Structure 1
Amino acid sequence: MKLYRFLTGPDDASFCHKVTAALNKDWELSGAPTYAFNAATGLMQCGQAVVKEVEGKDYDPDMKLSEQ
């Protein structure tokens, strides 16, 4: 099964750590990162899609993707 996640966060080191943690759990980058202004918070936000192939499991909408 192929899994998809979209990671988001403020434009700071915490976002980079979030993406780094996913990469170290065998997730792969998918597409270009995004960068946008959040008018509600007044901060820049980052986003990055990641995908991962998992063998021997079936998709379940209740699964926690971050734990895969």
Structure 2
Amino acid sequence: MPSSPPDNLPIYRLLTGRDDEAFCRRVSKALELGYALYGSPAITFNGEHAVVAQALIWTRGD
């Protein structure tokens, strides 16, 4: 397993976006790559739709 994230991705990432299937798929893909959830998700409302955020950290190679 690689000791650093692929494609020059950072060790720490904060994914944000509309609370929808696409966001869930982005988080799922990061988990498949070797990232782990870091802390709890956050959610807010921007007046039109819910916006979520999830922090992730690289764990492969530990």
Name the TM-score class by shorter chain.
Answer: 0.7 to 0.9
Question: Which residue number corresponds to residue 7 of structure 2?
Answer: none
Q: Whose Rg is larger?
A: 1
Q: 1:24 aligns with which of 32, 36, 53?
A: 32
Number of aligned pairs?
53
Tell me which protein shows more strand as a share of its residues: 1
Percent identity of paired positions between Structure 1 and Structure 2: 36
1:23–1:54 CA distance, 2 compared to 1 (3 A):
closer
Contact 2:38 2:56 in 1 (8 A): yes
Structure 1: 5+ residue runs without aligned partners?
A: 56-68
Structure 1 residue ranges (4+ consecutive) displaced by more than 3 angstroms after TM superposition:
none
Whole-angstrom distance in 2 between the partners of 1:49 and 1:37: 18
Task: Output the TM-score relative to the length of structure 1.
Answer: 0.69
Tell me which protein shows more helix as a share of its residues: 2
CA apart distance, 1:54: 6.3
Question: Which residue number corresponds to residue 7 of structure 1?
Answer: 15
Task: Output the TM-score relative to the length of structure 2.
Answer: 0.75
Range moving further from structure 2, 2-11 or 23-32: 2-11
Structure 2: 5+ residue runs without aligned partners?
A: 5-9
